[in-house]
Amino acid sequence: MRILKSSFAVVERRAEHTVKFFYTHLFWHNPGIRELFPASFEDMERQRDRLFAALTHVIAHLENESLLPYLRDLGRDHRKFLVGPEHYAAVGTSLLAALAEASGTAWTPRVEKAWAEAYQVMADAMTDGAGASGDPPWWDAEIVRHLQYGQDTAVLTLRPHAPLPHLPGQYVSVSSDRVPTTWRTYSIGNAPRPDHTLDLHVSRIEQGRLSTALVRAVRPGEMLRLGAAGGQLTLRRADRPVTLIAAGTGWAPIRAMLEDLAQHPPDQDVRLFVVARDAAHLYDRPLIDAYAAALRWLGVTYITPAPGRHRNEATARLATALGNRALWPDQDVYLSGPAPFIEETAYLLEELGAHPGRIFHDSVPSGGGDHGHEGRPLGFGEWFLNRPAPHWHNPWGRAPREY
């Protein structure tokens, strides 16, 4: 483990060169693989970011028990790319070549052996995950409703051709013929329904071709492809008080969990915080208010800037609101929203006394990823600056509070 982390510290300093070398090597030696990847330059840039973010995640979690389930889920999900055993071998060869190129004189036989063994463990876990699944590689799903909120947010209701198993809080990967070979993950915004329909909440990313198509272009009757449901942001039902914190379309998995809680009421209180850059972006507020009025065990707090103030004020108000709450060591906390928001909010909660093992969110790579952030994680409010207007919600319980 120590060898891998020390080696990766060297590689990290040449991250961009490493990833470009990897893809050049992979496509040169395996030209047939190129067609499995996005055609556009912008989408390949994002693909490179995601590769290094995933590698960073693996190295950071080498000794974490969550790593193998993560890799198995990844392998199951990669079936939608028609990935076979031969592809894992090709990727391994090119990855080792890229790591060697980036490492220079730090690449020793001992380091090479450690990386080769680690990659084999990763490939085996992903292959096992793919082989163990009885689900199809993807689901075809018809858009049956498309609701757009402003210019940058939409809620799509989909009807898969066959039931797609999922738990409240999970996500699916999505592809459209409008942007071939491009897949993005979106959280499912509802608990399982008898008619098996799914809601996806989509926030348009600037220069994001798929998110733009899903928000502004697709119409009812069109077909999308969905990957298998994944993610660890699911209720533990541990008979402890629960705090839910949602930001942007991170509301979707929180809403799904709240639906499940409403159907199976908890014995403990639930605290819900919904953050928005302004009150106009609380697009699901009527539903949230109805839940707040109907569910005695739910307390709702809306977090927005004061009228006319900069949207970053919402983050300061959230920090104040969380600081004014007690009993954090007793809480199970569920976080959902942009990656920097999750990172900084989790850090704040630990400072307030929340148990690190009871702060739940899906894996968040540090730097890199779909939103183009590299280097250090963004500050607690910085993610508000360059993203499209996020839309957020809160449901059910005691009278909501305004900040």
Give percent above pLDDT 90 in the chain: 53
CATH architecture of 2-132: Orthogonal Bundle (1.10)
Contact between residue 260 and residue 235 where contact means Cβ atoms under 8 Å apart: yes
Q: Which CATH number fits domain 139-226: 2.40.30.10, 3.40.50.720, 1.10.8.50, 3.20.20.105?
A: 2.40.30.10
pLDDT digits (tens, 9 = 90+) for 162-215: 999 999 999 999 999 999 878 889 999 999 999 999 999 998 988 888 999 999
Residues of the chain with CATH 1.10.490.10: 2-132
* Among the ranges given (32-41, 136-145, 168-177, 349-358), the one the predictor scored with the smallest mean pLDDT: 32-41
Burial of 193 (0-12, 13-18, 19+ CB in 10 A): exposed
CA 199 to CA 6: how far, in whole Å?
Answer: 43
CA 200 to CA 180: how far, in whole Å?
Answer: 19
According to the model, what pLDDT value does residue 295 have?
95
* More confident site: 210 or 312: 210
Other Cβ atoms closer than 10 A to 116: 14
329 has a pLDDT exceeding 90: yes
Q: What is the DSSP string of 276-325?
A: -SSGGG-TTHHHHHHHHHH-TTEEEEEE-PPTTS-TTHHHHHHHHHHHT-
Residues of the chain with CATH 3.40.50.80: 242-402
Q: What are phi and psi of 105, to 5 degrees?
A: -70, -15
379 has a pLDDT exceeding 80: no
Burial of 396 (0-12, 13-18, 19+ CB in 10 A): buried
Contact between residue 367 and residue 56 where contact means Cβ atoms under 8 Å apart: yes
Residues of the chain with CATH 2.40.30.10: 139-226
Other Cβ atoms closer than 10 A to 54: 18
Token pair, residue 115, equals 């990386």
Q: What are phi and psi of 24, to 5 degrees?
A: -60, -45
CA 22 to CA 101: how far, in whole Å?
Answer: 9
* More confident site: 395 or 49: 49
According to the model, what pLDDT value does residue 167 have?
96
CA 75 to CA 174: how far, in whole Å?
Answer: 16
- Report the predicted TM-score, pTM, of the whole model to 2 decimal places: 0.75
CATH architecture of 242-402: 3-Layer(aba) Sandwich (3.40)
Token pair, residue 336, equals 């959902």
